[in-house]
Structure 1
Amino acid sequence: MLKNKYLKVIFYCFFFAISCVANAQESSSTLPLTTYLQQLEEQFNIRISFANKDTDTLTITPSTDNNLESILNYIAKKTSLTLTKLSQRYYAFSKENTISIHAKFLDNFEQNTINGATIEVLEQNIATVTDSTGYFTLNNIPKDAIIKVRFIGYKTMHFNATELNKNKPVNTFLLKQHYVQLKEVVISKFLTTGLRKSKDGSVILNTSDFGILPGLIEPDVLQTVQALPGIKSSNETVSDINVRGGTNDQNLVLWEDIKMYQSGHFFGLISAFNPYLTNSVTITKNGTSPQYGDGISSVIDMRTNNNVNDSFFGAGFNMISADAYTQVPITNKGALQFSARRSITDFLNSPTYNRYFDKTFQDSDIENNDRDTEITRREDFYFYDFTAKALYDITNKHKLRFSFIYMNNVLNYEETNANNESNFSNLDQKNTSFGGSLESKWTNKFSTKINAYRTSYNLNANEVANNQEQQLQQTNKVLENGLKVNTKYQLTDNIKLINGYQLIETGIINFTNVTQPPYKKNIKGVIRAHSIFSEIDYQTIKLKARAGARVNYIENINTFKRWIVEPRLNINYNVATNFNASLLGEFKSQTTNQIIDLEQNFLGVEKRRWILADEDELPITTSKQLSVGFNYEKNSIYIGIEGFYKNVKGISTLTQGFQNQDQFNGEIGKYNIKGIEFLINKKNNNYSTWLSYTYNLNNYVFKDITPNTFPNNLDIRHTITFAANYNYKNFKIGVGVNYNSGKPYTEPEEGNNALDLFSFPAKINYKDPNSSRLPNYVRADISALYNFKISKKYKATLGTSILNILNKENILNRYYRVTNDNEIETVESVSLGITPNASFRINF
């Protein structure tokens, strides 16, 4: 036993001695960095500058290399110090304390971008928010800083600044939704990719993510919105969109915060806004924020890309037009954005063009000439548009933007008869708009936005007939200037306050001049509106509520002054898991309308002209709307139902498109709508199918017309859409069928009572207004897209579509007129026939 104890003692002593020697050797091979730098100065006859606070705590194992440059680089690598060579003899080591950081954040469900997430550098009073793509960047951030990322409804995340270093590629992080008791209802994929429904009831279209819809081969903004329940065009055009039974002029169309008075090409068949440069579109039917005035039926708010660092290019063509778009960063703070599109219709008569031409000009001067006489015709029709945007980030907190858009429709027509007598017609429709904005984030809680714009709309038509003996000139001009100041203050994590002021000055001219018989009419008007608005936004996991009001002081310089108060309400509440309810309400008003005072206005192609309210012949139009909705979404099923009531006052028979005995009387009245919108949507990663149904009961009330109450011109009672799209790898296909009941029209009396020959000129005796209905409307569409890569850098898309694949002849409108022989002629507008289209696009 004693011997074993001695052996253990000897073993422990031996082990301890070896450990001490090893530690002594290790200690002797490691030097304080300051000592090692001094040794190098003596060895190589150099001088090295450094700050003691950067080196005092650092140690280093000397390099075995004999080359000075290699040794110094070795020190920089081991210590993370920055080496600077000042001259052949002088060097400096310094510690880089700040870096630039960036990252991109998406949600973890459908990987949609998160716009407006707060990025906070803790203990540094530095913060920013993610842009529309979910991206952010910050400069001069301490290396040891902690970055906090938060967004309402999602779990907060923390990062070390070095994890987000800008010298590294952009990292994409997924924010997880935060659940408290009830699951938040977020409809991130709505009908197709790129469409989603927000909790406030608005629908957002992200064009860069857009999938496919039946009949569309590109994300045409104003065509796409018609896939939503309650939105329809009764005459198949994008320039006449009817939202919940309202007329097109009751929609507020904004492009980059600029009000647009022209929205279509080919006189309404094609959207005038480049769909590939338009980054996002928000459509609101009710519960509008008080930041928005005008648009008693809806707000369509379009935005282009707003991120300076993005760089892209795309181009393509279809059987109607060709276009190109690009964004080029100029510096790390600035970029320029362009798009251009032009029709190819003046040198290529494609089948698509022929169908569009027949549809557009079927009820115009061009198509109504006597075909029995020998006439030589020459027509020249084309359109084009151009947009530009300058983006400049003054600092991370101050962003300056300038935007410009120009669009033009041109039609020239000439005909010559056998006697060499010529008639000339030309029409020019254009919109020119430009504006600028300054967004500033003053603190983590307070931000402002100042926006100013000027928009000009001109519609001119000239006709020279009867061998230049008769001339007709028509002009409609709109000039509007606007200024808007918004402030946002985050009072708490749940409460946000929005306040602001808006000034809009609108001038409109309507001019008509006829040489034979002599007639001249020139109407000018100017309206100025001052508005202040305030809104409180409260949001938790279960509740999103927004309430506010807009107060307008409106004055027509020559006729009236008026105050109008417009309360707004928007409440969305999670009642149970996967189930939420909404209550939306608003009062709104507008001072501009479109009238149709002659069926052959502007060659019978563009019959609408803008006018101002005067509170005499045409009052300010006001509306009240209330809706209640319920939504259910679980896994791949979405079911939504919404009932609404809308009352609109201050309308005129001149603005509603009457084509009967009340067409020119100018009676003032109102209409009210009761309706239900229903949608069921089944979807997964590969397909989406949906069925929507809309019921509208839309009636006019005019006290000076008998009967007082009768169906609205847009009283389309039943609308049904059944559609589906399917994705397989790079291939997408969409098919759909649209049905709606016929809209009302007014027939003449029966037999000999139909025409009053004792009046001059002879006039038609009509039945009760809108007592008849057109046949039901049915149209089936199909479209397909194929995406492929030309190279690693270039991507391409082939597309094809067929509208009205069954070639069904739908009657869109019917009215009556008296011929020169005192006979009643029936005039019908027919829908597009079978219309093929094809496209090819390339982008990188």
Structure 2
Amino acid sequence: MLFRKRFYFSFFLFFHVLSFFAQDNGKVVPLKKIINNIEHQHNVSFNYTENIIFAVQLNPPKKALSLDQKLQYLARKTNLSFENIGNKFINIYKKDNPSKMICGYVFSATDKQTIENANITFLNKTQIQTDSHGYFKFEKEDAAIFLISHIGFISKRIVADNYNSKNCLEITLEPEITELEEIKANAILASGIAKNKDGSFEIKPKKFGILPGLIEPDALQAMQQIPGVNSLDESVASINVRGGTHDQNLFLWNGIRMFQTGHFFGLISVFNPNLAHTISIYKNGSSAFFGESVSSVVAISSTADTTEKNSFSAGINMINADVYAQYNISKKGSIEISARKSITDFVETPTYKQYFNKVFQNTTITDFSFNHNVNYQSDKKFGFHDATLKYIQKIGRKDQLVLDLITIKDNLEVFQSATVYNINKTANNVLHQQNYGGNLLWKRNWNSLNTTKINIYNSSYALLANQQITMGNQIVLQENKVHNNGINLENSHIINSKSSFNEGYQFNEISIANLEQISNPDFYVKDREVLRTHALILEGKYNDTLSRIYFKAGTRINYIEKFKKYIVEPRIQFLYGISKSLNLEMLGELKSQNTQQIIDLQKDYFGIEKRRWIISNNTTIPIQRSKQLSLNLFYTKNDWLVDIENFYKKVTGITTSSQGFQNQLEFVRTTGDYEVLGTEILVQKKINHFLTWLSYTYNKNNYHFSNYSYPSFPNNYELTHTISWAGIYEKNNFKIALGVKWSSGRPKTSLDDSLIDPSNPVLIYKKPNETNLKVFSQINLSSTYKWETTNGVQFKVGISILNILNRKNAISESYRINSLTNSIEKVETFSLQRTPNVSFRVSL
């Protein structure tokens, strides 16, 4: 019995060990099935031709073996060669004829991914293509020279005479750049400013040179040098593009719509000039992905095109101080922060005093009867700050997340008193203005030809005005709050080296609340409106550099839920190169806008216009709609640049309350339109380190209010003639710019003195805007110098002087009745007086 057990045990052990060493014992299976099993187990890919493995069958190798052991086993059993490339790709070819084969892989140079369906073209014009793994293979005798090409990549010529058949070729293709390039002008107006093929102006603050009156690359100040862009009251919160009001412009910061654009009530931009990487400005022909504006688009992106090195800078001028830092957390992650704060809490500089006098100037009030001047005195406390944060994280080779946050705030507190005919009047006044925003962007490059972007954003704006008047024991409280959020989806496809196509969807929700409360007598009004819109966007582009044709067309289909209304907005950009030096450009667009700013009680609160955001109700407050067409000739040769543009623009659905009337229409509520016909000319010449340019703008801008007694008259924002000149010198680290601005006076409405009874004064006006203010002229100067220490620390100093000649330019004129004196008063406001500024900055 014991012998039998030992026999069975020895017999079992013998055959078990034998089967362990005998790998080929068992059922034979096709080699293709074995290959498939290895691909799944080891996550590799085999490349071969079917005729090589078609009839091969053998016992499969043990699963416990390593990949290399399995390949050695297969090579030993099949008389085939198995070439392992990086444990990812395995090539199979016959052992007896390896020298006759050429194989290879084609990769993208940007993301190192293999390229499928790349064309391999031989001298005899025959072709083969790479497979799903980017692999190709052919007989060496077929061709030693071949061409590799693929849509979206630069073709490459390969010579394989000295090719070693033991290793496959690894070929990388560079992507063919199809992005917009600057027109052949190195600089327009200043270094760092260029004009793109789509008609937009692009500002690169980090490459920015200098402009008259500017020592920092302030986006909203710099754009006012572009023909057709003005600010009648020198405020970045009142930028007028081709006759439009400020609220008709769309301002985007990293995809976030900004409802507040100026500090210090418009004299300083809220966008930190040391932060932005690219600023794009569209006067016409904007992309269909931009909605909610009937005038220009200003898109600011602080996301750099390439990864930047760690940096830090800090600066100060006579208004504010700021810091900026960029730090790479890892190879794939970085963080960027900036912060800026006014220094008015610590010191009142000459620049601050001029700014304050400009905004809160003691309005010159001339009494018609007694020629008596009334001067207000006040104790004031003013300050502002802004801060931004950006976080970028790359995920793998294809994905990227970007988070942007921004906060802006202005605070003003004023105790005001005035004595008129022994009557004392005092008021405690508070004004707070703030804008918060956030945007989360996910971007994925599916491959070299397809990209998807999804971003979710929110923007919140609040204006609080509180005025206390002791005489009469009255308190006035006003609030305007805006909440805007939404989601954007955009897909981009490169069809070939000349054509691309984009499509997208956008959802936008905006809520606006207004509150007005007055005590003694009691008055309370509060309303809140919400509007939701959906937009479908389709856009295609064709760019042929050989035939010098650039064409981009798109459409935006808006659906407004509340009104159950569809609005279609086509856009077009066309450029034809008549020659290498001369381009013809045509731009056109239809756009709409559901929000606008109205001006209530503009004579209260220091005479500052308290502009409130409101939403269209599709009746008394219509949806604003615009149409615009422009034709442009652009010439560049031998450092000469000539840009001539003619345009037509019409905006319907405007309300009188949004236009800032201070005449007989101030309390009239009606709707209408304005129509602009204009010409913009820029002539520029560069001579070595010297750049000079002269611009001229003409526009005829008229209102049309069919229900008003004067159905047509000049627009409040019409500047019939505007001329600007600048001379800029830049050499090494020294820059200086001198410039002149001249414009015909803006329209004004005069009183009809012949109909006014001094004993019972009533404001009786002549026809609206039939006369003009005196001409506006100003000379500005700026200069900067930069140097660097041996350890790489950079220092920069700058000085600027606005209105060198200290000219007193009137920017508005209106009339009112003084209830204390029972007389008519003329109210005039003036531009900035001579205003110096000095800056200092250090960068690491």
Query: Which band: TM-score by shorter chain?
Result: 0.7 to 0.9
For the structure 1 residues 382 and 745, does the alpha-carbon distance in structure 2 shift closer, same or farther, using more than 3 Å as the test?
Answer: same
SS of residue matched to 1:587: strand
For residues 150 and 717 of structure 1, what CA distance do their matches in structure 2 show? 54
Are 2:236 and 2:269, in contact at CA under 8 Å, matched by a contact in 1?
A: yes
Cα offsets for 1:491-539 (capped at 9, x unmatched):
1211111100111111111111010222222121111111101011011
Per-residue deviation, 1:765: 0.9
1: distance between equivalents of 2:450 and 2:647? 36
Equivalent pair of 2:714/2:747 in contact (CA under 8 Å): yes
Which residue among 506, 517, 520 is the counterpart of 2:524? 520
Which shifted more, 270-279 or 791-800? 791-800
- Are residues 1:656 and 2:659 paired? yes
Alpha-carbon distance in structure 1 between the residues aligned to 2:622 and 2:424 = 49
- Equivalent position amino acid for 1:125 in 2: I
Q: Which residue of 2 aligns with 1:24?
A: none
Of 204, 207, 214, which aligns to 1:216? 214
| 2:365–2:374 Cα contact (<8 Å) kept | no
Residue 607 of structure 1, aligned match among 594, 610, 625: 610
**Distance in 2 separating the partners of 1:551 and 1:584:** 19
Contact 2:602 2:608 in 1 (8 A): no
Q: Give the partner amino acid of 1:220.
A: D
Q: Does 1:313 find its partner at 2:312?
A: yes
Shift in alpha-carbon separation, 1:156–1:257, aligned structure 2, 3 A = farther
Is the 2:625–2:653 Cα contact (8 Å) retained in structure 1? yes
One-letter amino acid matched to 2:608: V
* 1:505 aligned onto 2:503: no
Residue 560 (structure 2) aligns with: 554
Q: Which moved more, 1:418-427 or 1:630-639?
A: 418-427
**1:324 counterpart = 2:314:** no
| Structure 2: distance between partners of 1:789 and 1:157 | 43
Match of 2:279 among 278, 281, 298: 281
- What are the within-5 Å matches in structure 2 for residues 642-653 of structure 1? 642-653=645-656
Question: Equivalent residue for 1:781?
Answer: 780
Q: Which amino acid aligns with 2:488?
A: K
The alpha-carbon deviation at position 186 of structure 1 amounts to 2.7
Q: Does 1:726 align with 2:729?
A: yes
> What are the Cα deviations for residues 156-183 of structure 1, in whole angstroms up to 9, with x where unaligned?
78999xxxxxxxxxxxxx99999xxxx9
CA distance in 2, matches of 1:157, 1:404: 44
CA contact (8 A) 1:251 1:296 kept: yes
Name the SS of the counterpart of 2:576 in structure 1: strand
Determine whether 1:444 maps to 2:463.
no
Would the alpha carbon gap of residues 377 and 585 (structure 1) be closer, same or farther in structure 2, given more than 3 Å must change? closer
1:697 matched residue in structure 2: 700
SS at match of 1:278: coil
Map of 1:240-389 to 2, 5 A cutoff? 240-306=238-304, 307-362=306-361, 377-389=378-390
Distance across 2 between alignment mates of 1:508 and 1:496: 38
Q: Which residue of 2 aligns with 1:399?
A: 400
Separation in 2 of the partners of 1:745 and 1:492? 56
Q: CA deviation at 1:305?
A: 3.1
Corresponding residue number in structure 2 for 1:834: 834
How far 1:420 sits from its partner (Å)? 11
- Report the Cα distance in structure 2 between the residues aligned to 1:631 and 1:159, rounded to whole angstroms: 41
Does the Cα contact within 8 Å between 1:121 and 1:147 map onto a contact in 2? no
Structure 2, gaps ≥5 residues long: 1-83, 89-107, 118-133, 136-145, 160-173
Cα distance in 2 between the residues matched to 1:670 and 1:591: 15
Give the CA deviation at 1:602: 5.1
Alpha carbons of 1:245 and 1:157: their partners in 2 closer, same or farther (altered >3 Å)? farther
Aligned with residue 496 of structure 1, among 477, 496, 500: 500
Provide structure 1 residue ranges, at least 5 long, that are not aligned to the other structure. Answer: 1-93, 99-117, 128-140, 161-173
SS in 1 for 2:610: coil
Distance 1:478 1:254 in 2: 15
Question: Which deviates more from structure 2 when the two are superposed, residues 787-796 or residues 280-289?
Answer: 787-796
Alpha-carbon deviation of 1:667? 1.0
Q: Deviations over 1:258-307 (max 9, x none)?
A: 10000000010000001111111000011111011012110000011334
Tell me what 1:625 maps to: 628
Q: 1:394 to 1:461 in 2, by over 3 A?
A: same
Which residue number corresponds to residue 575 of structure 2? 572
Contact 1:184–1:574 (Cα < 8 Å) also in 2: no
Give me the whole-angstrom Cα distance separating, in 1, the residues matched to 2:247 and 2:442. Answer: 29
Deviation at 1:325, TM superposition (A): 0.5
Structure-2-length-normalised TM-score: 0.77
Quote the Cα distance in structure 1 between the aligned partners of 2:279 and 2:116: 31
Contact 2:647 2:678 in 1 (8 A): yes
Task: Write out per-residue CA displacement over residues 193-252 of structure 1, whole angstroms, 9 at most, x where no aligned residue.
Answer: 100110111010000000000000000110000111100101101111000111000100
Which stretch has the larger CA shift, 740-749 or 464-473?
464-473
Structure 1 residues 367 and 785: CA distance shift in structure 2, 3 A: farther
Structure 2 CA distance for partners of 1:374 and 1:202, relative to 1, 3 Å: closer
Question: Please, what is the CA RMSD of the aligned residues?
Answer: 3.3
Distance in 2 of aligned mates of 1:149 and 1:228: 43
Q: Give the stretch that moved more between structures: 408-417 or 586-595.
A: 408-417
1:822 is displaced (CA, Å) by 2.3
Deviation at 1:611, TM superposition (A): 0.8
Residues 554 and 571 of structure 2 are in contact (CA less than 8 Å); yes or no, is this contact kept in structure 1?
Answer: yes
Partners of 2:543 and 2:251 lie apart in 1 by 28
Q: What residue in structure 2 maps to residue 823 of structure 1?
A: 823
| Alpha carbons 1:277, 1:305 under 8 Å: kept | no
Give the counterpart letter for 2:745 in structure 1: G
Distance 1:367 1:97, change over 3 A: farther
The answer (yes or no) to whether the contact 2:600–2:609 under 8 Å persists in 1 is no
Q: Decide whether aligned partners of structure 1 residues 755 and 744 sit closer, same or farther in structure 2, where only a CA change above 3 A counts.
A: farther
2:114 pairs, out of 110, 118, 124, with 124
Structure-2 change in CA distance of 1:478 and 1:177 (3 Å)? closer
Q: How many Å separate the matches in 2 of 1:771 and 1:272?
A: 36
Q: CA deviation at 1:124?
A: 2.1
Mapped to 2, the partners of 1:338 and 1:148 lie a distance apart of 45
Change (3 A) 1:365 1:697: closer
User: Aligned pair in 2 of structure 1 residues 446, 754: CA closer, same or farther (>3 Å)?
Assistant: farther
Q: Distance in 1 between matches of 2:433 and 2:239?
A: 19
Structure 1 residue 706 and structure 2 residue 709: aligned? yes
The equivalent of 1:410 in structure 2 is 411
Task: Please say if residues 584 and 626 of structure 1, whose CA atoms lie closer than 8 Å, have aligned partners that are also in contact.
Answer: yes
Amino acid paired to 1:403:
D
Aligned residue identity for 1:296? V
The worse-fitting range, judged by mean Cα deviation, of 724-733 and 304-313 is 304-313
Distance 1:329 1:123, change over 3 A: closer
- SS of the residue 1:224 aligns to: helix
Whether contact under 8 Å (1:361, 1:367) holds in the other structure is no
Equivalent AA in structure 2 for residue 362 of structure 1: Q
What is the CA–CA distance in structure 2 between the aligned matches of 1:682 and 1:719, rounded to whole Å? 20
CA distance in 2, matches of 1:250, 1:561: 23
- 2:585 aligned residue: 582
Provide Cα deviations, 1:137-163, integer angstroms capped at 9, x if missing partner.
xxxx99xxx9999999x9878999xxx
Distance 1:417 1:235, change over 3 A: closer
- Asked if the contact 1:743–1:773 (Cα under 8 Å) also holds between the matched residues in 2, the reply is yes
Give the count of matched residue pairs: 690
Question: What residue number does 2:679 align with?
Answer: 676
1:657–1:373 Cα change, 3 Å: closer
- SS of 2:658's equivalent? coil
Task: Give the match for residue 53 of structure 1.
Answer: none
Q: CA deviation at 1:577?
A: 2.5
For residue 624 of structure 1, report the CA deviation from its aligned partner: 0.3
Q: 1:736 to 1:150 in 2, by over 3 A?
A: farther
Once the two structures are superposed, residues 817-844 of structure 1 have per-residue CA deviations (whole angstroms, 9 ceiling, x without a partner) of 1111221111111000000000001112
**CA distance change for structure 1 residues 610 and 373 in 2, over 3 Å: closer, same or farther?**
closer
User: Do the aligned partners of residues 188 and 147 (structure 1) sit closer, same or farther apart at CA in structure 2, a change above 3 Å counting?
Assistant: farther
Which of 422, 431, 434 in structure 2 is aligned with 1:430?
A: 434
Query: Is the CA contact 1:186–1:198 (under 8 Å) kept in the aligned structure 2?
Result: no
